Amino acid sequence: MKKMMMIALALSVSVTAVSCKKGLDKIENAVEKAGEDQSQAIIDFNNNFLESYKSSSRHVENIIQYAEAAVKKSKGETVYSMPMVISTMDYSLTKIKGVPSGFDSEQKIIETELITYKRRRESIDKKYEELKSYITSEDYKDDQGAKALALQKDIDAEAKAFFTAGDNIVTKIKPATEAAEEVILKDHPMKDYIVSSKSIMNELDAVMDALDKQYTQGFNEAEAQKKYNELEKAVDINSKKEFDVKGQQYAYKKTMFENFNKRATEFLDKYRKLIRDSKSANQIPDSNIQEISSAYDSVLNSYNSFVQ
């Protein structure tokens, strides 16, 4: 369950705006009054945080897997190789110098959650280093793995708090980001193509949300097919658009727009395969989850390249 949740999360957190407008009048008005500078600051914060959350989520998940293997090894069970954990700098997080005032009433809440997010990530890294030293030195032979089990519980608790803070931030920044994009895109020559392409990403997120639930609760062919049909329609509409934007500075975007549509079509190919394989297995196989997540990453990367 945790594996699919992390894939869906990591796959769903990089698109800048997805929520509907109902009930967002207050934040929209605040962002509009703040102007283009604050709107851009909101979008930059959104993009930097989502990139941070995507990479950090994978990092934390790797540590969780390492801790699980460490407990088994410390108990004398056969572990052929310990999961790889690569220590990397979260450069996207270092770009965040503060929470923009354009978030209005949500600013303080986001600041609090961001502090928790950072502290939990740091704590998880420290506990991992402690566990790694314990396993490397084979100190578990002295206490029969008691410390490994204790550290695993600590890591799981810290990870839960980390993901909760991350999810809360994602929820809080979505409405303002959507409003900020409306301000930035107001007179943008590529607005029609960006909005249409975003609709595909919205459908993709809906697909991944559905697959997230079905991975743990059981495959639902009717729902999966319905999501497929909705996504296919959005991809078909976008693919039929002829990219025609005035200005030499936008000429190269034509290839990026076409590449995005190509990646979205390839996602549909993998999705059809997933439906077929899941139907015969009466559940979503892990191999299909890996394929669909890889296909999503390709669509997402091509989308980000197009809109940047």
Write the pLDDT tens digit of every residue in 237-257.
999 999 999 888 899 999 999
For residue 147, what pLDDT is reported?
Answer: 98
Q: Which domains does the chain have, with CATH numbers?
A: 1-184 (1.20.120), 187-308 (1.20.120)
Burial 130-164 (b: 16+ CB within 10 A, else e): ebbebbeeeebeeeebebbbebbebbeebbebbbe
Q: How confident is the model at residue 28 (pLDDT cuts 50, 70, 90)?
A: low
Check pLDDT > 60 for residue 72.
Answer: yes
What is the phi-psi region of residue 262: left when phi exceeds 0, alpha when psi lies from -120 to 50, beta otherwise?
alpha
Answer with the residue of higher pLDDT: 178 or 193: 193
Instruction: Enter the pTM of the model.
Output: 0.77
For residue 31, what pLDDT is reported?
Answer: 58
Q: How confident is the model at residue 29 (pLDDT cuts 50, 70, 90)?
A: low
Region 116-124 average pLDDT:
98
Region 142-150 average pLDDT:
97
HSE of 47, CA atoms in CB hemisphere, 13 A: 16
Q: How confident is the model at residue 151 (pLDDT cuts 50, 70, 90)?
A: very high
Region 106-113 average pLDDT:
97
Q: How far apart are CA 211 and CA 220, in angstroms?
A: 9
Q: How confident is the model at residue 261 (pLDDT cuts 50, 70, 90)?
A: very high
For residue 238, what pLDDT is reported?
Answer: 97
Q: How confident is the model at residue 20 (pLDDT cuts 50, 70, 90)?
A: very low
For residue 4, what pLDDT is reported?
Answer: 37
Q: Is 229 exposed, middle or buried (0-12, 13-18, 19+ CB in 10 A)?
A: exposed
Check pLDDT > 80 for residue 52.
Answer: yes
Q: How far apart are CA 109 and CA 173, in angstroms?
A: 10
Check pLDDT > 50 for residue 298.
Answer: yes
Answer with the residue of higher pLDDT: 123 or 20: 123
3-state secondary structure the chain: CHHHHHHHHHHHCCCCCCCCCCCCHHHHHHHHHHHHHHHHHHHHHHHHHHHHHHHHHHHHHHHHHHHHHHHHHHCCCCCCCCCCCCCCCCHHHHCCCCCCHHHHHHHHHHHHHHHHHHHHHHHHHHHHHHHHHHHHCCCHHHHCCHHHHHHHHHHHHHHHHHHHHHHHHHHHHHHHHHHHHHHHHCCCCCHHHHHHHHHHHHHHHHHHHHHHHHHHHCCCHHHHHHHHHHHHHHHHHHHCCCCCCCCHHHCCHHHHHHHHHHHHHHHHHHHHHHHHHHHHHCCCCHHHHHHHHHHHHHHHHHHHHHHC
Percent of the chain predicted with pLDDT > 70: 89
Check pLDDT > 70 for residue 26.
Answer: no
Q: How confident is the model at residue 133 (pLDDT cuts 50, 70, 90)?
A: very high
For residue 87, what pLDDT is reported?
Answer: 84
For residue 3, what pLDDT is reported?
Answer: 37
